[in-house]
């Protein structure tokens, strides 16, 4: 800053830049040092036994925070995005169908991992999302276990099932898994890391104690990108490699389409040096999927591009179905020994997702998170596989739940598949009003039985609407009860290409 009357010349621009850079580096060092002191103070409150495991976790947070301080500007320069090279995305139909004998051999080299860290709060449920009933009173977890047991029995193998829990879901999950003890499934669980939320303006952790249960709001699970380090820290990665396991198949537990696929397994276990180390299942993007991450070629590497990384002026390009044709299902096949190598070399640098939150306590905090698919760029041989839409069947809302509970899907061995009675392979578009259908309990109370939807294309329901038994919906059906009105669709009704509005009450007598 110049003083009044000071006529000395300004330093050259390069010198100013250097001074500014030095100042920023000093500020970063200071912030990192202060955070490490805060973390050390938390660790000092623990017993020696607890301290060792928590030190690994908080060390991971310290490294993530240091990267957050250093990384400035966009993680992707839009003009540097390259066209996907030939063979970067394989078509599922081009994959080989292996023999029964080969399938048995391959399954003994596989581990199935399900991401089980989420709660069911967005659907009005308490506890882990995986214990919501989705089909014939079976939960996400029940169906997953049934799939693995069916596989193990059919081929006489032992495919282990691993759940990555969070501190939010672990206790309830441990109680639930006891009921599977007598089944033909080898169970393992581990917890993803537990990181401290930091004050937005000071970068200090808001927690005063390392006791997570005493102050749940002060801690958070840092996204599924934490899988790699937590899997290693749990000892399971080393254990499975020692057993001769070669790949893990990882997916979200609420994706009912994410079953073990022997064609993809045959590809990743192909003999020779060119077998992929990291496979991301992608599927064709529709207008309903415009926010999903996509595959790009960048700096001669295949990598995941999320909407959070896209500059505002290019969001329309990103959401275009023509420009980016695929989106990430988060079904991943990853080579175990390469995970170990990447971690040992310290080259696992996934993009940091900054998640600001305002807590009920009044704190404005930052969460630093990562996405599991973003690790693709850290592996030498990554490819995408364009899989059928049937492998992406997530249940995020009650409209998704209506689909999977209906006769659109048939169940076999814990797996859901489109009913052969449906004449076309696409699923109907369903929109249910938030006020009356958003929570699972409310949603279920509005259906005496789930309607026949085999011939349905589109369903919109808004307002106070209930459905009787044996209702059939065909074509495009729109049902709108205005404020203060109620519509009861009578039992046995067949609605085909209908708009229903106004007030219709069916009274018991």
φ/ψ (deg, to 5) at 148: -70, -40
Chain centroid offset of residue 360 CA: 25
Q: Which residues pair with 334 in a beta bridge?
A: 248, 278
The token pair at 46 is 């623990």
| SS3 labels along 312-375 | HHHHHHHHCCCCCCEEEEEEEEEEHHHHHHHHHHCCCCCCCEEEEEECCCCCEEEEEECCHHHH
For residue 268, the SS3 value is: helix
Tokens of 448: 């005496």
3-class state of residue 87 by DSSP:
coil
Q: Is 435 a catalytic residue?
A: no
Q: Is 479 helix (H, G, I), strand (E, B) or coil?
A: strand
Query: 396: annotated binding-site residue?
Result: yes
Joined together, the tokens standing for residue 404 give 């999977």
Contacts of 348 (CB under 8 A, 6+ apart): 228, 229, 342, 375, 378
Give the span between the Cα atoms of 366 and 199, in whole angstroms.
Answer: 6
Length of the chain, in residues: 509
Q: Residue 315 CB: number of other CB atoms within 10 A?
A: 13
Distance CA 492, CA 290 (A): 37
Question: Considering Cα of 114, then 115, then 121, then 126, what sign does the dihedral take?
Answer: positive
Is there a binding annotation on residue 502?
Answer: no
User: Which of 104, 200, 325, 396 does the annotation list as catalytic?
Assistant: 396
Helix (H) / strand (E) element for 148: namely helix 140-155
- Annotated binding residue 223: yes
Q: Is 192 annotated as a binding residue?
A: yes
3-state DSSP assignment of residue 109: coil
User: 448-461 burial, b if ≥16 CB within 10 A, otherwise e?
Assistant: eebbbbbbbbebbb
Q: How many CB atoms lie within 10 A of CB 26?
A: 10
- Rounded Cα distance, 1 and 134, in Å: 65
- Both tokens assigned to 351: 């993009």
Q: Provide the annotated binding site for substrate.
A: 224
Q: Provide the annotated binding site.
A: 129, 192, 223-224, 254, 396
Catalytic residue set: 396
Q: Provide the annotated binding site for UTP.
A: 129, 192, 223, 254, 396
């Amino acid at each position: 800053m110049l003083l009044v009357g000071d006529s000395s010349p300004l330093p050259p621009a390069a010198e100013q830049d250097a001074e500014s850079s030095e100042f920023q580096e000093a500020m970063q060092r200071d912030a990192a040092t202060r955070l490490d002191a805060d973390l050390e103070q938390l660790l000092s409150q623990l017993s020696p036994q607890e301290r060792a495991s928590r030190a690994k976790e908080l060390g991971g947070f310290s490294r993530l925070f240091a990267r957050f301080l250093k990384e400035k500007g966009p993680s992707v320069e839009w003009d540097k995005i390259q066209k996907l090279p030939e063979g970067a995305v394989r078509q599922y139909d081009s994959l080989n169908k292996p023999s029964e004998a080969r399938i048995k051999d391959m399954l003994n080299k596989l581990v199935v991992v399900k991401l089980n860290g989420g709660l069911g709060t967005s659907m009005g449920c308490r506890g882990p999302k995986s214990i919501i009933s989705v089909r014939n009173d079976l939960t996400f977890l029940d169906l997953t276990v049934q799939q693995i047991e069916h596989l193990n029995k059919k081929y006489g193998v032992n495919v282990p099932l691993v759940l990555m829990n969070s501190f939010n879901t672990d206790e309830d999950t441990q109680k639930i898994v006891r009921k599977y003890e007598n089944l033909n499934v080898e169970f393992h669980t581990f917890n993803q890391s537990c990181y401290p939320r930091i004050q937005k303006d000071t970068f200090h952790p808001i927690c005063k104690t390392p006791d997570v249960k005493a102050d749940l709001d002060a801690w958070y699970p840092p996204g599924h990108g934490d899988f790699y380090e937590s899997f290693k820290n749990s000892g399971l990665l080393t254990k499975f490699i020692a057993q001769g396991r070669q790949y893990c198949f990882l997916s979200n537990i609420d994706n009912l389409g994410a079953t073990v696929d022997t064609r993809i397994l045959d590809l990743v276990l192909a003999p020779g040096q060119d077998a992929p180390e990291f496979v991301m299942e992608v599927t064709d993007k529709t207008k309903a999927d415009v926010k999903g991450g996509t595959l790009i070629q960048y700096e001669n590497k295949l990598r995941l591009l999320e909407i959070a990384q896209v500059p505002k002026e290019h969001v329309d390009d990103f959401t275009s179905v023509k420009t980016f044709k695929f989106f990430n299902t988060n079904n991943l096949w990853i080579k175990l020994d390469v995970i170990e190598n990447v971690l040992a070399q310290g080259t696992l640098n996934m993009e940091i997702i900054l998640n600001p939150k305002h807590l009920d306590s009044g704190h404005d905090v930052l969460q630093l998170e990562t996405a599991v698919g973003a690790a693709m760029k850290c592996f030498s041989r990554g490819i995408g596989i364009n899989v059928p839409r049937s492998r992406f069947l997530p249940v995020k809302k009650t409209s998704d739940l209506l689909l999977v509970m209906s006769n659109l899907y048939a169940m076999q061995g814990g797996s859901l598949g489109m009913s052969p009675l449906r004449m076309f392979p696409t699923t109907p578009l369903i929109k249910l009003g938030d006020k009356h259908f958003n929570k699972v309990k409310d949603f279920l109370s509005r259906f005496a039985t789930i309607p026949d939807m085999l011939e349905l294309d589109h369903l919109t329901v808004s307002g106070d609407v209930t459905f009787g038994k044996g209702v059939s919906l065909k074509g495009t059906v729109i049902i709108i009860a205005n404020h203060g009105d109620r519509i009861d669709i009578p039992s046995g009704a067949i609605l085909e290409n209908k708009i229903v509005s106004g007030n219709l009450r069916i009274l018991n007598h």
